[in-house]
Amino acid sequence: MNVGVEARLRAGDVTFGAADAELLRSIGAHGSVQGAAEALGRSRARALNRVAALEEGFGPLVERQRGGADGGGSRLTADAETLLARFDRLRATLSETAAVPESVLSGEIRDREGEFGSVETDAGVVRALLVDRVLANGDGGSEGGASGGGPAELDVGTEVQVSVQADAVTLYRPADAPDGGATSARNRLPGSVADVESGESIVRVGVDVGTDASLLVLITRESRRRLGIEPGADVVASFKTTATRATAIDY
């Protein structure tokens, strides 16, 4: 079982996301499913099918009226307005975490293949995107010159710091964690939950992976419940190579 922190609400097997919020708001603004579909560049049938699917999980969302003095149309129900408000609160909370913590692991480049490399850290080997520096010439300009140069590549043996955004990490129960070849998230660090800080919609989890500072992870409260995330619980933290940046340590 994995964990995501995208702005989504779930009811049973039905998931409500940003595209669904856009659809409902468009229906409310245009007064019809047809008008909403045209504004969003979708077919009316597709929009109707999506509304029907959402209503299976979240209850009546669109009230349809036929004929009459106003010529018919559609409007959002109170349930739809409540759902949109809940979604906005969740998205706002996630937006506030954009500057949230990232974890920084120190290590040394062990090998390099193109733009990516393996970095030996206290938590184990981490695959990362190597961010090469560009050397400016002596007067601080960016034009080429004798004292300037091209890109300064991070070579094998270079000491680097590896940055991992908290919202780019996925948590698994150890028994459920896929092996490295079964997922695009090649980095897998086993550890145990060191601390848990629960907010209104999301939870910040610190995972002890053998480094001085905990690896920070953001999950939803529902995911915490499903995974049984409590201090001391064993977990596996996984994240993609492309979500991991390695930069040189400047002394």
Q: From CA 112, how far away is CA 98, in angstroms rounded? A: 30
Please report, as a single letter, which amino acid is at residue 43: S
Q: What is 102-248's CATH number?
A: 2.40.50.100
Q: What pLDDT is attached to residue 68?
A: 46
Give the closest residue to 101 by CA, choosing from 225, 234, 227, 214.
214
Domain extent listing, the chain = 9-98, 102-248
9-98: CATH, from 3.40.50.2000, 1.10.10.10, 3.40.640.10, 3.90.1300.10? 1.10.10.10
Report the pLDDT value the prediction gives residue 2, as an integer from 0 to 100.
44
Comparing CA positions, the residue from 241, 214, 226 lying closest to residue 102 is 214
Residue 198 vs residues 4, 35, 62: alpha-carbon distances, Å: 16, 41, 34
- C-alpha span between 59 and 53 (Å, rounded): 10
Burial 178-198 (b: 16+ CB within 10 A, else e): eeeeebebbbbbbbebeeeee
What string of pLDDT tens digits covers the 251 residues of the chain?
Answer: 444 456 788 888 899 999 999 999 999 999 999 999 999 999 999 999 999 999 999 999 999 877 544 446 899 999 999 999 888 877 776 665 555 578 999 999 999 988 899 999 999 999 999 987 543 333 333 333 333 444 457 899 999 999 998 988 999 999 998 775 545 567 999 999 999 998 877 899 999 999 999 999 999 988 999 999 999 999 999 998 888 999 988 65
φ/ψ of 14, rounded to 5, equals -100, 130
pTM of the model: 0.56
Per-residue model confidence (pLDDT) at position 69:
45
